[in-house]
Each structure stands twice: as C-alpha cells, then as structure tokens.
Structure 1
Amino acid sequence: MTKINVIIPAFNEADSISYVIRDIPEKIDEIIVVNNNSTDNTEINAKQAGATVLTENSKGYGYACLKGMEYVSNKTERPDIIVFLDGDYSDHPEELTKIVAPIIDNNIDFVIGARVKRLREPGAMTVPQILGNWLATTLMKLFFGARFTDLGPFRAIKYHKLLELNMEDKTYGWTIEMQLKALKKNLTYTEIPVNYRNRIGVSKVSGTIKGAIFAGVKILGWIFKYSFNK
C-alpha cells in the first residue's frame, strides 16, 4: 500500500483551508498543514478539519515546506510520496489521485500539476504569473532541455527522491529550485493538466507588487545559478 503525505503551507488561509482539507481524497495517510505565522484562524480551522498542524514562525513558502519535511523525517513510518498543495483552494484537491498516478502506476519520480489555459477559470492566474511561468519554463527549455510548461505548486514526488534534492530555498524560489534540481539529478518527470480556479482571499505573491518582484528575482536567480553550474 502506497503511503502518501500531503504538506500544505498556509499563511492566513482561514477562509479556505477547511475546504482544501475536506476535498483531499481519503486514501491519504496524513495531511500536514504548516501554519506560517498566520494572524487569523488558519490553525484552528485546519485542526478542526482533521489535519496535523505545525507552526513555522519564519515567514516564507520554503520555510513552511521545510518544516513539513522535517516533521515527516522524524516519523516512524515515512511515506512513499509527498504531495505539496497550496492552502488557498485554487487547485482542486480531489485531483490528487491524478497527480500521484504516474508515480504509482509508471514509476515516475516527480509530477507537476500543470495549470493549462483550457482548465483555468478566467482571472485565476494573474498576468505576472502567466508571464513568469512562460519566461521560467522557456529558459529551462533553452538551458536544460526541460519539458516543463508550468511552475505549479500542486506537485508530487517520491519521498526518497525529494530528500536527494537537498531543498534549501526559504521563500519564493521553492518551486523552481525543486524543478531545476530534479533536472540536475536526472529524475523522471511528467506534467498532468489540472483545473485551476480563483483562489479564496488575496495572493501573498502574485497579489502584490512586492511579492511578484521578489518571486521573479528568485526564479531567475535559480535558473541562472544552475545554468552556470551545469
């Protein structure tokens, strides 16, 4: 039986987190919400919805993901697969079964949920997000021959392969770091088209000028770092 853990970084997602947890398929062994210094009822609502809730006071998407990984590493029974999922309800958690299927059925190492245009609600991705994804994936194709089309946060990876990546980014560069290191480690990977809707609440990254700029700088920084260290 394949053991699957879900890690959900969450900063002020009180209005959405219970919906995310509710829609995750029952076959999941543990849902781990990392409360990333929220000032609302994210922690309370996540606990009431049945998740394991951790606290990470250092703000940053990567900080929260690393906290979840630390927790998993200390478990007696570690999972076979880790799924990362945002807490804003923009992804459809019930599609997790599609995300993990290539790993379970075809022994793929790493799967990205690709937010393709035909499955996106109007306005679900901002112009900076769309342009940033296009630029990042184009550069990865040029520099590394990658086939990625998205930096989607809804993703699954074999647990032991995740450990091999030695993830380190603490903030906005987490997703691109994982994809670049997967390329460097020659992990097998694929993308699965997923539905994507308008999130509940305001985005902490694409919803602010500061967030969009810092995310862009992080993404480009990781790409150029790896392009010079091939």
Structure 2
Amino acid sequence: MTVDVILPCLNEEAALGWVLGRMPDGYRPVVVDNGSTDRSAELARELGAHVVHEPRRGFGAACHAGLLASTADVVCFMDADASLDPRRLPGVAAPVLGGDADLVLGARRPRTAGVWPWHARLGNAALARTLRRRTGVRLHDLGPMRAAARSRLLELGLTDRRFGYPLEMVLRAAAAGWRIAEVDVDYLPRAGRSKVTGTVRGTLRAVADMRRVMAELG
C-alpha cells in the first residue's frame, strides 16, 4: 500500500535532498510549496516528489492543500526541514495501517542538545497538558509527524489554515471518538533557522493560533 507523505515547504532547498533521499519505499512525498523564493519546488520535482503549489501562506493552508492533492488511503504529515527522519514514518503509520489506531502522533525526542529551544518546548508542554485535560488522551507532544486515513481527515472538516491546524485535527478527532496514539520519533537539528520554534516571536505566534482554536472549539 502506498502512503502519501505531505511536506509543507517554505524555502527548504537545503533540507529537501536529505529528506526526500530517506523516504521509505511505498511512501510518496507530496511537497506543498507555500511561496518559496529558493529552488525548493524545482529541486523537489527533480528528486521525484509530487509538487503542489499553495499560494495562500500558512502552515495549515499548505497541509490542507497536500491533503486535498493526495490520493492514498493513508497519509502522513511531516516537516520538510530535516528535523524529522522520514525513516520513522513506517513506525508512525503502522498502527493506522494495521487498524489499531485512527490517528498517530510522533512524540519528538531530541537527540542532541539545543535542538528544541526552551520557549518552544515550554509552549508545547503547556498545550499538551491542556489537550490531555480537554480530550482525556495521554499525549505529550502535538506531533508534527503524524498519520491518519485521508478520507476520515477530510470528514473532520478542518478549517484552520495557520499554526492551529495540527491542534484542530487532534481536537476534532478526539470529539469524533477516534483512537489516538503516540509513538516516539527522533527530533534532529533542522537545516537552517526555524520559522516558528527558532524564535520566541514565532513560538508565541503559534501558541496564539492554537489557543484561538481551543477557544473556537469550546
């Protein structure tokens, strides 16, 4: 069975060679170019990825464009910045493919010091704690690497197109009675500077988007 891997991408030319070169057999990369000014889209196409262009800026906009463009029964999401190893995808997708879970999140485990800045880790921990209280699901990370059935994700009716998209997915899935699981994945030094967790401002922006989603979904 082929699994589509949705990779939202904004100026990740430096990372794409490593990421796409480590894609496991049976996992088809769908790179969603979200307005890159470097050669990200061209390089991804040269390396055999299916490339989708999403002009509307926003992490959620890119993720959802990839979801709409994919054709596999099961899809994965992961960042395209080399902070996550594609070779961990089979472990994340296995519970979904085997029918043991409906949504699987990869809980990040840093492999070197300084990979996860304190402000990003603190914000993630606070949100995960709130998420546990809201859903009753024992999660420790919002999991940028994740897997689920494509058709069921579309049925959730996700509307956020910013950084609240991953959180909305978990909240709506929990409300729908999905079986949500978590598996550990390596968290590695990304290529280049992070647009979100690399700065306090970026982290605060992401947290604000997620708090907005929390409030909207009651």
The match for 2:191 among 170, 183, 200 is 200
Deviation, structure 1 residue 210: 3.0
What residue is the counterpart of 1:25 in the other structure? 24
Give ranges in structure 2 of 5+ residues lacking alignment.
none
1:174 aligns with 2:174: no
Offset from partner CA, 1:169-194 (integer Å, 9 cap, x none):
11111111111111111111111101
The structure in which a higher percent of residues are strand is 2
Q: Is the Cα–Cα contact under 8 Å of residues 79 and 144 in structure 2 kept in the other structure?
A: yes
Distance 1:129 1:182 in 2: 24
Distance 1:89 1:189 in 2: 25
1:64 aligns with 2:55: no
1:11 aligns with 2:10: yes
TM-score by length of structure 1 reads 0.90
Deviation, structure 1 residue 58: 1.6
Amino acid in the other structure paired with 1:184: A
Residues 103-114 of structure 1: matches in 2 within 5 Å?
Answer: 103-114=96-107
What residue is the counterpart of 2:83 in the other structure? 90
Deviation, structure 1 residue 21: 0.9
Offset from partner CA, 1:69-88 (integer Å, 9 cap, x none):
2222xxxxx31201001100
Aligned length: 218
What residue is the counterpart of 2:114 in the other structure? 123
Give the secondary structure class of the aligned counterpart of 2:52: strand
Shift >3 Å, 4+ stretches: none
Percent identity between matched residues is 33
Give RMSD over aligned pairs.
Answer: 1.4
TM-score by length of structure 2 reads 0.95
Offset from partner CA, 1:135-175 (integer Å, 9 cap, x none):
11111122221211101211001112211211111111111
Give the secondary structure class of the aligned counterpart of 1:218: helix
Give ranges in structure 1 of 5+ residues lacking alignment.
73-77
